[in-house]
Amino acid sequence: MMPSRVTLVDVGPRDGLQNEPQPVATADKIALVQRLVDAGLREVEVTSFVSPKWVPQMADNAVVMAGIRRVPGVRYSVLTPNMKGLEAALPTRPDEIVVFGAATEAFSQRNINCSIAESIERFAPVVAAARAAGIKVRAAVSCALGCPYQGDVSADEVEHVVRLLKQIGVQHCGIADTIGVGTPHRAQAAIERALKHFALDEVSGHFHDTYGQALANIYACLQMGLHTFDASVAGLGGCPYAKGATGNVATEDVVFMLDGLGIETGIHLDRLVDAAEFISDRLGRAPVSRVGRALLARRGKALLT
Ligand code: HMG
Ligand code: MG
Protein backbone atom coordinates (compact mmCIF):
# COMPACT_ATOMS: atom_id res chain seq x y z
CA MET A 1 0.00 0.00 0.00
CA MET A 2 2.95 2.41 0.48
CA PRO A 3 2.91 5.08 -2.27
CA SER A 4 5.96 5.49 -4.51
CA ARG A 5 5.47 9.25 -4.68
CA VAL A 6 4.20 11.79 -2.16
CA THR A 7 3.02 15.36 -2.67
CA LEU A 8 3.94 17.75 0.10
CA VAL A 9 2.10 21.04 0.49
CA ASP A 10 4.22 23.59 2.31
CA VAL A 11 1.90 25.59 4.54
CA GLY A 12 4.71 27.46 6.32
CA PRO A 13 4.09 30.86 4.72
CA ARG A 14 0.47 30.72 5.94
CA ASP A 15 0.08 28.31 8.85
CA GLY A 16 3.57 29.14 10.07
CA LEU A 17 3.78 32.87 9.68
CA GLN A 18 0.19 33.53 10.82
CA ASN A 19 1.40 32.69 14.29
CA GLU A 20 4.49 34.87 14.54
CA PRO A 21 4.22 37.43 17.35
CA GLN A 22 6.62 39.79 15.56
CA PRO A 23 5.77 41.27 12.15
CA VAL A 24 7.41 39.50 9.23
CA ALA A 25 8.33 41.72 6.28
CA THR A 26 6.17 41.18 3.22
CA ALA A 27 9.33 40.87 1.11
CA ASP A 28 10.52 38.02 3.33
CA LYS A 29 7.23 36.19 2.91
CA ILE A 30 7.53 36.52 -0.85
CA ALA A 31 11.15 35.36 -0.76
CA LEU A 32 10.19 32.35 1.36
CA VAL A 33 7.56 31.22 -1.14
CA GLN A 34 10.11 31.60 -3.92
CA ARG A 35 12.72 29.56 -2.05
CA LEU A 36 10.22 26.79 -1.38
CA VAL A 37 9.40 26.60 -5.07
CA ASP A 38 13.12 26.63 -5.88
CA ALA A 39 13.51 23.66 -3.54
CA GLY A 40 10.95 21.72 -5.59
CA LEU A 41 7.69 22.29 -3.70
CA ARG A 42 4.83 22.21 -6.19
CA GLU A 43 2.12 23.23 -3.72
CA VAL A 44 2.49 26.18 -1.39
CA GLU A 45 -0.15 27.67 0.90
CA VAL A 46 0.76 31.32 0.56
CA THR A 47 -1.54 33.37 2.79
CA SER A 48 -5.06 33.77 4.07
CA PHE A 49 -7.84 36.22 3.28
CA VAL A 50 -9.22 36.42 6.80
CA SER A 51 -10.09 39.36 8.99
CA PRO A 52 -6.97 41.43 9.79
CA LYS A 53 -8.52 42.06 13.20
CA TRP A 54 -8.41 38.35 13.87
CA VAL A 55 -5.07 37.58 12.24
CA PRO A 56 -3.06 40.76 11.58
CA GLN A 57 -0.08 38.71 10.40
CA MET A 58 -1.89 37.95 7.13
CA ALA A 59 -3.08 41.51 6.44
CA ASP A 60 -0.61 41.83 3.55
CA ASN A 61 -2.25 38.88 1.73
CA ALA A 62 -2.88 40.61 -1.60
CA VAL A 63 0.59 42.21 -1.67
CA VAL A 64 2.23 38.84 -1.04
CA MET A 65 0.18 37.20 -3.79
CA ALA A 66 1.02 40.03 -6.20
CA GLY A 67 4.72 39.84 -5.34
CA ILE A 68 5.40 36.18 -5.98
CA ARG A 69 6.78 35.18 -9.36
CA ARG A 70 4.48 32.41 -10.52
CA VAL A 71 6.17 29.28 -11.70
CA PRO A 72 4.08 27.17 -14.07
CA GLY A 73 3.05 23.86 -12.54
CA VAL A 74 3.06 25.20 -9.00
CA ARG A 75 -0.23 25.45 -7.14
CA TYR A 76 -0.45 28.56 -4.97
CA SER A 77 -3.30 28.34 -2.47
CA VAL A 78 -4.94 30.76 -0.05
CA LEU A 79 -7.44 30.45 2.79
CA THR A 80 -10.86 32.03 2.30
CA PRO A 81 -13.35 31.57 5.17
CA ASN A 82 -16.24 33.48 3.58
CA MET A 83 -17.37 35.39 0.49
CA LYS A 84 -15.56 38.52 1.61
CA GLY A 85 -12.33 36.54 1.71
CA LEU A 86 -12.98 34.96 -1.67
CA GLU A 87 -13.82 38.32 -3.28
CA ALA A 88 -10.54 39.74 -1.99
CA ALA A 89 -8.63 36.65 -3.10
CA LEU A 90 -10.00 36.30 -6.64
CA PRO A 91 -8.09 39.24 -8.20
CA THR A 92 -4.86 37.72 -6.83
CA ARG A 93 -5.45 34.59 -8.97
CA PRO A 94 -5.01 31.75 -6.48
CA ASP A 95 -4.85 28.28 -8.02
CA GLU A 96 -6.73 26.85 -5.08
CA ILE A 97 -8.74 28.18 -2.18
CA VAL A 98 -9.15 26.56 1.20
CA VAL A 99 -12.23 26.71 3.40
CA PHE A 100 -11.57 25.66 6.95
CA GLY A 101 -14.11 24.03 9.19
CA ALA A 102 -13.78 22.12 12.41
CA ALA A 103 -14.84 18.78 13.83
CA THR A 104 -15.99 20.43 17.07
CA GLU A 105 -18.47 23.21 17.75
CA ALA A 106 -16.17 24.85 20.28
CA PHE A 107 -13.27 25.23 17.88
CA SER A 108 -15.53 26.39 15.07
CA GLN A 109 -16.78 29.19 17.33
CA ARG A 110 -13.32 30.23 18.49
CA ASN A 111 -11.67 30.06 15.09
CA ILE A 112 -14.30 31.38 12.69
CA ASN A 113 -16.98 32.71 15.03
CA CYS A 114 -19.82 30.46 13.95
CA SER A 115 -21.27 26.98 14.44
CA ILE A 116 -20.40 24.04 12.21
CA ALA A 117 -23.76 24.30 10.44
CA GLU A 118 -23.31 28.05 9.89
CA SER A 119 -19.79 27.48 8.58
CA ILE A 120 -21.10 25.08 5.96
CA GLU A 121 -23.73 27.64 4.95
CA ARG A 122 -21.01 30.26 4.58
CA PHE A 123 -18.70 27.94 2.67
CA ALA A 124 -21.32 26.78 0.15
CA PRO A 125 -21.38 29.99 -1.94
CA VAL A 126 -17.59 30.31 -1.61
CA VAL A 127 -17.12 26.81 -3.00
CA ALA A 128 -19.62 27.41 -5.81
CA ALA A 129 -18.07 30.74 -6.83
CA ALA A 130 -14.53 29.41 -6.72
CA ARG A 131 -15.42 26.39 -8.82
CA ALA A 132 -17.31 28.58 -11.30
CA ALA A 133 -14.08 30.60 -11.62
CA GLY A 134 -12.14 27.39 -12.32
CA ILE A 135 -10.35 27.41 -8.97
CA LYS A 136 -9.81 24.18 -7.08
CA VAL A 137 -11.42 23.97 -3.63
CA ARG A 138 -9.80 22.27 -0.68
CA ALA A 139 -11.15 22.09 2.84
CA ALA A 140 -9.45 21.60 6.16
CA VAL A 141 -11.14 19.85 9.06
CA SER A 142 -9.52 21.23 12.19
CA CYS A 143 -9.36 19.40 15.50
CA ALA A 144 -9.95 16.04 13.82
CA LEU A 145 -7.84 14.24 16.43
CA GLY A 146 -8.42 16.43 19.47
CA CYS A 147 -9.73 19.84 20.44
CA PRO A 148 -8.23 22.36 22.88
CA TYR A 149 -11.72 23.20 24.18
CA GLN A 150 -13.68 19.95 23.91
CA GLY A 151 -10.91 17.37 24.45
CA ASP A 152 -11.37 14.05 22.68
CA VAL A 153 -12.94 14.04 19.24
CA SER A 154 -14.62 10.98 17.74
CA ALA A 155 -14.26 9.68 14.20
CA ASP A 156 -18.05 10.18 13.88
CA GLU A 157 -17.63 13.90 14.53
CA VAL A 158 -14.94 14.05 11.85
CA GLU A 159 -17.06 12.17 9.34
CA HIS A 160 -20.04 14.43 10.00
CA VAL A 161 -18.11 17.49 8.77
CA VAL A 162 -16.38 15.61 5.97
CA ARG A 163 -19.77 14.53 4.61
CA LEU A 164 -21.12 18.10 4.70
CA LEU A 165 -18.03 19.42 2.93
CA LYS A 166 -18.44 16.84 0.19
CA GLN A 167 -22.10 17.77 -0.20
CA ILE A 168 -21.30 21.42 -0.91
CA GLY A 169 -18.80 20.54 -3.64
CA VAL A 170 -15.44 20.65 -1.88
CA GLN A 171 -12.93 18.73 -3.99
CA HIS A 172 -10.19 17.88 -1.52
CA CYS A 173 -10.37 17.20 2.20
CA GLY A 174 -7.50 17.76 4.62
CA ILE A 175 -7.70 16.08 7.99
CA ALA A 176 -5.99 18.32 10.51
CA ASP A 177 -4.54 17.55 13.90
CA THR A 178 -4.51 21.18 14.99
CA ILE A 179 -3.02 20.60 18.42
CA GLY A 180 -0.84 17.62 17.58
CA VAL A 181 -2.32 15.18 20.07
CA GLY A 182 -3.12 12.44 17.56
CA THR A 183 -1.41 9.08 17.52
CA PRO A 184 -1.09 6.69 14.56
CA HIS A 185 -4.23 4.56 14.96
CA ARG A 186 -6.38 7.61 15.68
CA ALA A 187 -4.94 9.29 12.59
CA GLN A 188 -5.75 6.22 10.50
CA ALA A 189 -9.31 6.12 11.86
CA ALA A 190 -9.96 9.75 10.91
CA ILE A 191 -8.43 9.33 7.46
CA GLU A 192 -10.52 6.20 6.95
CA ARG A 193 -13.66 8.27 7.52
CA ALA A 194 -12.51 10.91 5.02
CA LEU A 195 -11.88 8.14 2.48
CA LYS A 196 -15.52 7.13 2.70
CA HIS A 197 -16.41 10.41 1.00
CA PHE A 198 -13.31 11.50 -0.93
CA ALA A 199 -10.97 9.55 -3.23
CA LEU A 200 -7.48 8.69 -2.00
CA ASP A 201 -6.02 11.37 -4.30
CA GLU A 202 -8.21 14.00 -2.64
CA VAL A 203 -7.48 13.41 1.03
CA SER A 204 -4.47 14.76 2.88
CA GLY A 205 -3.05 14.76 6.37
CA HIS A 206 -2.14 17.96 8.23
CA PHE A 207 -0.30 17.08 11.40
CA HIS A 208 1.01 19.55 13.93
CA ASP A 209 3.94 18.16 15.87
CA THR A 210 3.14 19.47 19.34
CA TYR A 211 3.53 16.06 21.00
CA GLY A 212 6.14 14.73 18.57
CA GLN A 213 3.71 12.32 16.88
CA ALA A 214 3.51 13.82 13.41
CA LEU A 215 6.04 11.62 11.60
CA ALA A 216 4.53 8.50 13.16
CA ASN A 217 1.09 9.66 12.06
CA ILE A 218 2.32 10.31 8.53
CA TYR A 219 3.93 6.88 8.40
CA ALA A 220 0.67 5.29 9.53
CA CYS A 221 -1.19 7.16 6.79
CA LEU A 222 1.39 6.14 4.18
CA GLN A 223 0.59 2.55 5.09
CA MET A 224 -2.98 3.28 4.00
CA GLY A 225 -1.71 4.57 0.66
CA LEU A 226 -2.26 8.25 1.50
CA HIS A 227 0.13 10.34 -0.52
CA THR A 228 -0.57 14.01 0.21
CA PHE A 229 0.54 15.77 3.37
CA ASP A 230 0.88 19.32 4.59
CA ALA A 231 4.14 20.29 6.23
CA SER A 232 5.78 23.52 7.22
CA VAL A 233 9.33 24.58 6.42
CA ALA A 234 11.48 24.85 9.56
CA GLY A 235 8.48 23.56 11.52
CA LEU A 236 7.08 27.09 11.59
CA GLY A 237 3.78 27.82 13.14
CA GLY A 238 0.86 26.98 15.31
CA CYS A 239 -2.65 28.32 15.43
CA PRO A 240 -3.61 31.61 17.08
CA TYR A 241 -6.87 30.02 18.25
CA ALA A 242 -5.31 26.84 19.66
CA LYS A 243 -3.15 27.78 22.61
CA GLY A 244 0.09 25.80 22.89
CA ALA A 245 -0.16 24.32 19.40
CA THR A 246 3.26 24.23 17.76
CA GLY A 247 3.99 24.17 14.09
CA ASN A 248 3.15 21.60 11.52
CA VAL A 249 5.58 18.78 11.11
CA ALA A 250 8.69 20.28 9.51
CA THR A 251 8.91 19.74 5.77
CA GLU A 252 12.61 18.85 6.12
CA ASP A 253 11.77 16.05 8.56
CA VAL A 254 9.14 14.58 6.24
CA VAL A 255 11.41 14.80 3.18
CA PHE A 256 14.26 13.10 5.08
CA MET A 257 11.95 10.25 6.12
CA LEU A 258 10.49 9.87 2.63
CA ASP A 259 13.95 9.95 1.02
CA GLY A 260 14.97 7.18 3.39
CA LEU A 261 11.90 5.16 2.43
CA GLY A 262 12.72 5.61 -1.26
CA ILE A 263 9.53 7.63 -1.80
CA GLU A 264 9.80 10.41 -4.40
CA THR A 265 8.82 13.96 -3.50
CA GLY A 266 10.66 16.02 -6.11
CA ILE A 267 12.02 18.12 -3.25
CA HIS A 268 15.71 18.89 -2.93
CA LEU A 269 16.51 18.58 0.76
CA ASP A 270 19.56 20.87 0.74
CA ARG A 271 17.65 23.66 -0.97
CA LEU A 272 14.80 23.17 1.44
CA VAL A 273 17.25 23.61 4.30
CA ASP A 274 18.37 26.84 2.59
CA ALA A 275 14.75 28.03 2.74
CA ALA A 276 14.50 27.01 6.39
CA GLU A 277 17.75 28.81 7.18
CA PHE A 278 16.55 31.93 5.38
CA ILE A 279 13.29 32.26 7.29
CA SER A 280 14.82 31.19 10.61
CA ASP A 281 17.49 33.87 10.28
CA ARG A 282 14.78 36.43 9.55
CA LEU A 283 12.84 35.31 12.63
CA GLY A 284 16.03 35.24 14.72
CA ARG A 285 15.82 31.64 15.86
CA ALA A 286 16.87 28.15 14.84
CA PRO A 287 14.53 25.90 12.87
CA VAL A 288 12.40 23.60 15.01
CA SER A 289 13.09 20.83 12.50
CA ARG A 290 15.44 18.14 13.82
CA VAL A 291 16.65 17.39 10.30
CA GLY A 292 17.06 21.10 9.54
CA ARG A 293 19.12 21.60 12.68
CA ALA A 294 21.27 18.54 12.00
CA LEU A 295 21.99 19.55 8.42
CA LEU A 296 22.72 23.15 9.35
CA ALA A 297 25.10 21.96 12.08
CA ARG A 298 26.83 19.78 9.51
CA ARG A 299 27.27 22.87 7.36
CA GLY A 300 29.08 24.39 10.32
CA LYS A 301 26.35 26.85 11.15
CA ALA A 302 26.28 28.03 14.75
CA LEU A 303 22.61 27.70 15.62
CA LEU A 304 20.65 30.26 17.55
CA THR A 305 18.42 28.74 20.17
P1 HMG B 1 -16.73 37.71 12.08
O2 HMG B 1 -16.30 38.80 12.99
O3 HMG B 1 -17.78 36.75 12.55
O4 HMG B 1 -17.16 38.28 10.64
O5 HMG B 1 -15.43 36.90 11.68
P6 HMG B 1 -18.28 39.27 10.19
O7 HMG B 1 -18.77 38.74 8.87
O8 HMG B 1 -19.26 39.51 11.32
O9 HMG B 1 -17.46 40.62 9.94
C10 HMG B 1 -16.85 41.36 10.98
C11 HMG B 1 -15.76 42.25 10.40
O12 HMG B 1 -14.74 41.47 9.78
C13 HMG B 1 -16.28 43.19 9.30
O14 HMG B 1 -15.46 44.36 9.34
C15 HMG B 1 -15.95 42.44 8.05
O16 HMG B 1 -15.82 43.26 6.94
C17 HMG B 1 -14.63 41.82 8.41
P18 HMG B 1 -15.93 45.69 10.07
O19 HMG B 1 -17.23 46.06 9.39
O20 HMG B 1 -16.13 45.32 11.52
O21 HMG B 1 -14.80 46.64 9.84
N22 HMG B 1 -14.35 40.58 7.65
C23 HMG B 1 -13.27 40.36 6.90
N24 HMG B 1 -12.18 41.14 6.63
C25 HMG B 1 -11.26 40.62 5.81
N26 HMG B 1 -11.34 39.39 5.25
C27 HMG B 1 -12.40 38.61 5.49
C28 HMG B 1 -13.42 39.10 6.34
N29 HMG B 1 -14.57 38.59 6.79
C30 HMG B 1 -15.15 39.50 7.58
N31 HMG B 1 -12.47 37.40 4.94
C32 HMG B 1 -14.11 35.50 10.26
C33 HMG B 1 -15.49 35.77 10.84
C34 HMG B 1 -14.14 34.14 9.63
C35 HMG B 1 -13.81 36.54 9.21
C36 HMG B 1 -13.08 35.60 11.40
O37 HMG B 1 -13.48 34.74 12.41
C38 HMG B 1 -11.70 35.25 10.94
O39 HMG B 1 -11.07 35.98 10.19
N40 HMG B 1 -11.18 34.11 11.40
C41 HMG B 1 -9.88 33.67 10.93
C42 HMG B 1 -9.31 32.73 11.85
C43 HMG B 1 -8.03 32.21 11.26
O44 HMG B 1 -7.49 32.73 10.30
N45 HMG B 1 -7.50 31.15 11.90
C46 HMG B 1 -6.29 30.56 11.48
C47 HMG B 1 -6.44 29.81 10.19
S48 HMG B 1 -7.20 28.21 10.39
C49 HMG B 1 -5.92 27.19 10.88
O50 HMG B 1 -4.81 27.63 11.12
C51 HMG B 1 -6.19 25.72 10.92
C52 HMG B 1 -5.58 24.94 9.75
O53 HMG B 1 -4.18 25.12 9.67
C54 HMG B 1 -5.88 23.45 9.92
C55 HMG B 1 -5.52 23.00 11.34
O56 HMG B 1 -4.35 22.93 11.69
O57 HMG B 1 -6.49 22.80 12.06
C58 HMG B 1 -6.21 25.38 8.40
MG1 MG C 1 -2.75 24.06 10.91
In a mutational test of the pocket of ligand 1, which residue from 47, 50, 79, 98 has the highest number of ligand atoms less than 8 Å from its CB? Answer: 50
Domain limits of the chain?
7-298
Cβ 82 under 6 angstroms from ligand 1:
yes
| Strand partners of residue 242 | 239
The string over 119-142, giving b where at least 16 C-beta atoms fall within 10 Å of a residue's C-beta and e elsewhere, is bbebbbebbebbeeeebbbbbbbb
pLDDT of residue 1: 87
The pLDDT tens digits for 109-163 are 999 999 999 999 999 999 999 999 999 999 999 999 999 999 999 999 999 999 9
Helix (H) or strand (E) holding 303: none
Mutate which of 14, 17, 51 for ligand 1 pocket (most atoms within 8 A of beta carbon): 51
> Residues 225-243: what's their mean pLDDT?
86
Alpha helix positions (H), the chain: 26-38, 61-67, 83-89, 105-112, 116-132, 155-167, 184-194, 214-222, 251-260, 269-283, 290-298
Q: Looking at ligand 1, which atom is closest to the CA of residue 84?
A: 31
pLDDT of residue 245: 64
The SS3 of residue 197 is coil
Please say if the pLDDT value at position 3 is more than 90. yes
Residue 211: helix, strand or coil by DSSP?
coil
Question: Is 114 considered catalytic here?
Answer: no
pTM summary value: 0.97
Tell me if 180 CB under 6 Å of ligand 1. no
Distance of CA 73 from the midpoint of ligand 2 (Å):
24
C-alpha to C-alpha distances, 237 to 16, 41, 44, 287, nearest whole angstrom: 3, 18, 15, 11
Q: Is the CB of residue 100 below 6 angstroms from any atom belonging to ligand 1?
A: yes
Q: Which CATH superfamily is domain 7-298 in?
A: Aldolase class I (3.20.20.70)
